[in-house]
Amino acid sequence: MRVTSFMIYDQLTRSLQRNLEDLAEVQARLASGKKINKPSDDVIGLMRALDYRVSINAGEQYRRNIEEAEAQLGFADAALTSLTDSILRAKGLAVTGASGTLGPDVLATLAQDAAQIKNTLLNLGNSRFRDRYAFAGFRTDQPAFDATTFAYQGDAGLIQAPIDRTGTIPVNIPGSSAFAYTLPAATSASLSGGRFVHYTPGAGTTVQVEIRDTDNVTVLDTFSFSNVIEAVDILGTALAAGDVPRSEALVSVLDRFRTQAINAQAEVGVRLAQLGNQKTRQSATTLTLQQALSAAEDADIARTATELNKVETALQALLKSSSRILSQSLLDFLR
Amino acid sequence: MSIYGLFDIGKSALFASQTALQTTSSNIANANTPGYSRQEVVLAISHPAEIRGGYLGRGVSVAGIRRNYDSFIQAQLLGQRQNYGRSAALQQSLSQIEQVFNDGAGLGLSRPLAAYFSAWHEVSTNPEGLTQRQVLLQNGSALARAAQATERSILDTVRAANDEIGQIVDRVNAMAKDVALLNERIVQAEAGLGREAAHDLRNQRDAVLTDLSQLIEFSSFEDANGAVTVTAGMRNLVAGARTNTLSAVTNQEGDKDLTLDGINITPAVQNGRVGGLISVREDIKANALTSLRKLVASITREVNLQHNAGFGLDGSTGSNFFAPLQLATRDYSAGADITATITDLTQVTLDEYDVRFDSGGNYYVYSRPGGTLAASGVYASGSPITVNGVEFTITGAVTATDRFVVSPLENAVRNFGVALSDPQQVAASSSALELPGNNVNALALAGLADSGIANLQGSTFSAYYQSIVSTVGTQSRASQDTLTFDENLMAELANRRESLSGVSLDEEAANLLRYQRSFEAGARLISVADELLQTVLRL
C-alpha cells in the first residue's frame, strides 16, 4: 500500500483524539466518583441504580413515618401510664369511701382528692401532642372531652401511618377505647348490707347502674356514666355526700376502667415493639440497598486510577512514536 | 539525420522534464488541499525517424497528464460520508436528550417525583398540619417545574434540529450552484479533449460533492459530456448547469419539511446530516417527548381522580390538585372545525385520537399509538361523538381528505401545575365528618407512587420514568456506536483514496530530484550538440 503523509497525519490525529476521549472519560469517572455519568454509559446499571434509589428514598420516608409514629405512640404510652395510676388512686378512694365508717372531714378530703383526680384525668384526656388532641380519634382539632359535661366529643378514628409498602399502623388510641369501656352484657353484684347493684350497657360506652334494695327489686338509686372522667366525677359527689353504696358500686367499675387502660397501653406497647422491629428491618434493608447502589454506580477508584495510568501510557507512547515518524522526510536528506 | 536532430531531442527532453517538474511542484503545493488527486505526467517515445538500416529515436513527448483517481472509491466515500453525517447528527441530538434525563447529575424527574409522594406521606402522618400541606404544594410545584424544564429542553433540541435544517438547506443550495458552475466549465474545458482532461476542475467538483455528501443524501452520476447530475429524493438538485432550489418549509406541526422544486422530499432523505436531523427529530418526538407527556398526564389524572374523592380541612371536596388535563386538537380540514372536551376523566385512556372520514360520509376514530378503531359511524355535523370519556363535536362539511387529531398529551406538560392555592384544600380526609384527623385519602394518594397505573402499561410512575431514561440511554449508546463505526469506515475509505490519490512528499521529493537530473542531462545534450556544431563550423 502506498502511504502518503496525509495518511500518517490523519492516523495520528484520529488516534490522539481517541486517546484524549478515553482520558476525558476516565477523568470524569474519577472526578464524580461514579462509573455511570450519563445514561448511555451503562443503561442496565443505571436502571438498577435508579431502582435502588427509589427503594432507598421510599425506605427513608418509611423510616420518617416510623419515627413519627413512635413519637406519637410514645406520647400516648406516657399518658396511659398516668391514666392507669390515676384510676388506681381513684379506686383506692372508692374502696375507702365504701367502708362507710368515715367522719365528714375525712369524706371531704376524699372528695377533694377525687376532684383532683378527675381534673388530672380530664387533662390527660385532652392532652395535646403538637397541637393535636391525642385522644380525640379523627377530631384532633377539638378537646376529646368536654370540660363541663365530660362527654367524649371525639370519634373512634384510627390515624394510620404507612410503615412499609403494604402495612400501616395506627398512631393514636381514641379516647373511646382508652378512657371508656363497652359493657358486653348486663351484670349484677351484691353490695354490703344485702343490697344489689346492676350494670346494664347503654348506647356506645354508656353504662347504667342501678342500686337495688335487699329484695333486688326496689330501685334505690340510679346513675350512668360513659367514661372514666364521668365515673370519677360521680365518685367525688358520692364521697362528698357519704354515699356508701355508690362508692361501693364504683369500685368494680374503676377496676374495669383500669383493665381497659392497661389493655390500651399494652396495645401501644405492641405497636411500639412492632415499629422497633420494622425500623431495624428497614435500616438493614436500606444498608443493603445502599451497598448495592454503590456497587452499581460508584467507580472503583483503584481500578479507575489504574485505567488512567494505562490510558496515559498509551498516549505518551503515541506521542513519542509519532514525533519520531513525523520527523522522517526525504527532504531532510537532500541538499 | 543531422546534428540539428540532436537539438530537437535535447529540446524534447528539456520540455518533458520541465512539464514533469511542473506537475511535481503542483502536487507538492497541493499536498494538503482537500479533494486533490495526485497528477502524473505520462511520457511517450516520439515517433522514430526511419534511416537506412533501421529507426532512430527522436526524443520524448508528453502524452498527457494523468489524475490518479478511482471513481469507485470516490462513490463509496460519498455514500459513507452521507451515513456519517446522519450518525453525527443523531449522536449529537441524542446525547443532548440524554443529558436532560441524567438523574446522576441531579437532572430529570426521579427526585422531584419521589419528593412529591414523600410529601403525601408527611401529610398522612400529620393530616391536620398546615406546614406539611404547604410542603406538599411546594413539592407539587417543584415536580411541575422539573417536568416543564425537561420538556423545554427536549423541545429546544427539536427546535435546534429544525433551525439547523434551515441553515443546511442554504448551504446545500450554495454548493449545488458551485457544482452546476463547475459542470459548465468542465464541459467547456473538456470539449474535444476527451474525458478526464480538466483535472483541477474535477478535483474541485469532487471536493464540493464530498462536502455536500455530509449534509444531504443524494445520488450522482456523470454524463458523457462530463457534467454531474445530483438527485436528492428522486428529484434533480443539479442537472448540468441548472439547479433546483431546495427549501425548508414549516409544516403544520411546526417542523421543517424539505421541498425540492416544490415537491416534499422529506421522507426520502434519510442520510446526510439533514436526514439524521429529520429522523432524530421524529424519534425524539415519538419517544422521549410523548412518553414524558404521557407520564405527566397520567400523574395529573390519577392524582386528580383520587384528590377529587377526598375532603380538605375546610370541608371542600371534588377539587383538583393539579390543573386539569386539557385536550389539544389539530385541524387538517378546510371546511370543518372540531372541539373536544373531557366528559369523564375516569374513562380517559390518554390515547391520542385520529379522526378520519371516507367519501361515504362516515367517520372513523382511530386511537394512537396502536391504531385501533375506537369508534365509527355516520357523520352528522354538530352531533357529539364520545370515545373513552372524551367528547368530540365536529361541525361543518367534511371531505375524505379531512383529518383531525385530538390529543390529551400535547398540552399535558405545558399546563402541568398545582391548581390548589390554599393548603387547607388538600384533600387528606376521606370523610367530611372525620376532619381533621382522617388521613385515608392522603394514604391513598401516597400509595399511588407504588401502584401500577393501567394507562402506563401497568407500571408505576417511577418505573415508567425509568423506562424513558432507559430508552433514551440505549438510543444514545447505539448512536455513539454507529457513529464510531461510520467514522472508522469513513477513515478506512479516506485512507484508500489517499493511498491512490494522495500526495506523498517523499515521493515528490524523489521525483523532483529525478526530473531535475533529467533536465540537467537534456541541457547537457544541447551543449554537446552545440559543441558538435562548433566543431563542424570550424572545419
- What are the tens digits of pLDDT across the range B514-539? 999 999 999 999 999 999 999 999 98
The answer for A 5-44 residues in CB contact with B (under 8 A) is: 5-7, 10-11, 14, 32, 34, 36-40, 43
Contact B201, B69 (CB under 8 A): no
**pLDDT of B138 higher than 60:** yes
CB contact under 8 A, B437 and A137: yes
- Put simply, the answer to whether A132 touches B105 (Cβ < 8 Å) is no
Surface of B (446-505) touching A: CB under 8 A = 446-447, 449-450, 462, 466, 469-470, 472-474, 476-477, 480, 491, 494-495, 498-500, 502-505
Residues B502, A6: C-beta atoms closer than 8 Å? yes
Residue A160, min C-alpha distance to chain B (Å)? 7
> Which pLDDT score is estimated for B196?
63
The CA-based angle B147-B153-B159, given to 5 degrees, is: 135
Q: Do A54 and B500 touch (CB under 8 A)?
A: no
Tell me the shortest Cα–Cα distance from B156 to chain A, in angstroms: 19
Site of grid cell 539525420: B1
- The CA distance from A283 to A290, in Å, is 10
- Which cell numbers hold the place of A155? 370519634
Can you tell me the distance from the alpha carbon of B329 to that of B362, in angstroms, rounded to the nearest whole number? 20
Euclidean distance between CA atoms A24 and B15, whole angstroms: 57
Kindly tell me if the per-residue pLDDT of B457 is higher than 60: yes
For residue A223, the distance in angstroms to the closest alpha carbon of chain B comes to: 31
Identify which of A50, A64, A140 has the shortest CB distance to residue B128. A140
Would you state the cell numbers that stand for residue A321, as one nine-digit string?
512514536
Would the pLDDT of B48 be above 90?
no
Q: Which amino acid is at B104?
A: G
Q: B440–A160: do the CB atoms touch at under 8 Å? A: yes
Gap from A329 CA to chain B (nearest CA, Å): 6
Q: For position B381, what pLDDT does the model report? A: 87
Does residue A280 register a pLDDT over 90? Answer: yes
- Residue A154 CA to residue A144 CA, distance in Å, equals 5
With a CB-CB cutoff of 8 Å, which residues 40-59 of chain A face chain B?
A: 40, 43, 46-47, 49-51, 53-54, 57-58
Q: In chain B, which residue's Cα lies nearest the Cα of A165?
A: B450
Q: Cα–Cα distance between B515 and B533 in angstroms, integer?
A: 27
Residue A278 sits at the chain B interface (C-beta within 8 Å): no
B392 vs B402: CA distance, rounded Å: 15
Q: How many angstroms separate the CA atoms of B40 and B508, rounded?
A: 10
Selection from A225-239, B54-68, B90-104 with the highest mean pLDDT: A225-239
Q: What is the pLDDT of residues A10-56, one digit of tens each?
A: 888 889 999 999 999 999 889 988 888 888 888 888 888 888 988 99
Q: Grid coordinates representing B388?
A: 373513552
Q: How far apart are CA B56 and CA B52, in angstroms?
A: 10
Q: Give contacts of B436 with chain A, Cβ < 8 Å.
A: 138-141
User: Which of B325, B72, B149, B491 has its CA nearest to residue A8?
Assistant: B491
Contacts of A313 (CB under 8 A, 6+ apart): none
Taking Cα atoms as reference points, which of B229, B243, B241 lies closest to residue B187?
B241
B476 to A69: CB separation less than 8 angstroms, yes or no: no
> Which range has highest mean pLDDT (B307-311, B346-350, B386-390)?
B307-311
Question: Would you state the cell numbers that stand for residue B7, as one nine-digit string?
Answer: 537539438
Q: Mean pLDDT: which of B60-64, B208-212, B431-435 is highest?
A: B208-212
Q: CA of B187, closest CA in chain A: separation in Å?
A: 31
**What pLDDT sits at residue B195?**
59
Contacts of B62 (CB under 8 A, 6+ apart): B15, B16, B19, B41, B42, B43, B44
Selecting from A7, A39, A136 the residue whose C-beta is nearest the C-beta of B499 gives A7
Please tell me if residue B98 touches chain A, with a CB cutoff of 8 Å: yes
Scanning B128-187 for CB atoms below 8 A from A yields 128
Confirm whether the ipTM is greater than 0.95: no
Q: Do B513 and A334 touch (CB under 8 A)?
A: yes
Three-state DSSP string of B44-78: EECCCEEECCEEECCCEEEEEEEECCCHHHHHHHH
Give the type of residue at B106.
Answer: G
Residue B194 has a pLDDT of: 63
A63-119, pLDDT tens digit by residue? 999 999 999 999 999 999 999 999 999 999 999 988 878 888 889 999 999 999 999
User: How many residues are given for chain B?
Assistant: 539
Is residue B245 exposed (0-12), middle (13-18) or buried (19+ Cβ within 10 Å)? middle
Interface test with A, best of B27, B99, B439, B469 (most A CBs within 10 A): B439
The C-alpha angle A91, A79, A225, rounded to 5 degrees, equals 45
Q: Is A140 exposed, middle or buried (0-12, 13-18, 19+ CB in 10 A)?
A: buried
CB–CB contact B437 A14 (8 Å): no
Type and span of the H or E element at A105: helix A104-125
User: Rounded to an integer, what distance in angstroms lies between the CA atom of residue B273 and that of residue B281?
Assistant: 12
Average of per-residue pLDDT across B34-40: 88
Give yes or no for a contact between B461 and B449, defined as CB atoms under 8 angstroms apart: yes
The verdict on a CB contact (< 8 Å) between B506 and A57 is no
Quote the pLDDT of residue A335: 66
**Mutate which: A1, A3, A4, A128, vs B, most B CBs within 10 A:** A4
In terms of C-beta density within 10 A (0-12 exposed, 13-18 middle, 19 or more buried), how is residue B101 classed?
buried
pLDDT band at B58 (very low <50, low <70, confident <90, very high): confident
Phi, psi of B27 (to 5 degrees): -60, -45
Query: Are the Cβ atoms of A162 and B121 closer than 8 angstroms?
Result: yes
Which of residues 428 through 447 in chain B touch A, CB cutoff 8 A? Answer: 429, 431, 434-440, 443, 446-447
Would you give the distance in Å from CA B311 to the centre of its chain?
Answer: 51
**CA distance readout (Å), A280 to A111, A169, A269, A284:** 49, 16, 17, 6
Give pLDDT, residue A193. 85
Work out the minimum CA distance from B44 to partner chain A, whole angstroms: 25
Mean pLDDT of B255-260: 92
* Cβ within 8 Å, pair B435-A138: yes
Provide the edge-to-edge strand list for the sheet that holds A187-190.
Answer: A187-190, A196-201, A207-212, A219-225
pLDDT grade for B485, boundaries at 50, 70 and 90: very high
Which tens digits make up the pLDDT trace of B258-286? Answer: 999 889 999 999 999 999 999 999 999 99
Give A 134-153 residues with CB within 8 A of chain B: 136-141
Mean pLDDT is lowest, of A32-46, A250-264, A271-285, B227-241, for A32-46
CB atoms within 10 A of CB B482: 17
Give the amino acid at B368.
R
B438/A157 touch (CB, cutoff 8 Å), yes or no: yes
Query: Are A143 and A126 within 8 A, CB to CB?
Result: yes
Please count the other Cβ atoms lying within 10 Å of the Cβ belonging to residue B250: 11
**Phi, psi of A153, rounded to the nearest 5 degrees:** -110, -5
Q: Is the pLDDT of residue B18 over 90?
A: yes
Residue B473: list chain A partners with CB under 8 A: 38-40, 43, 46
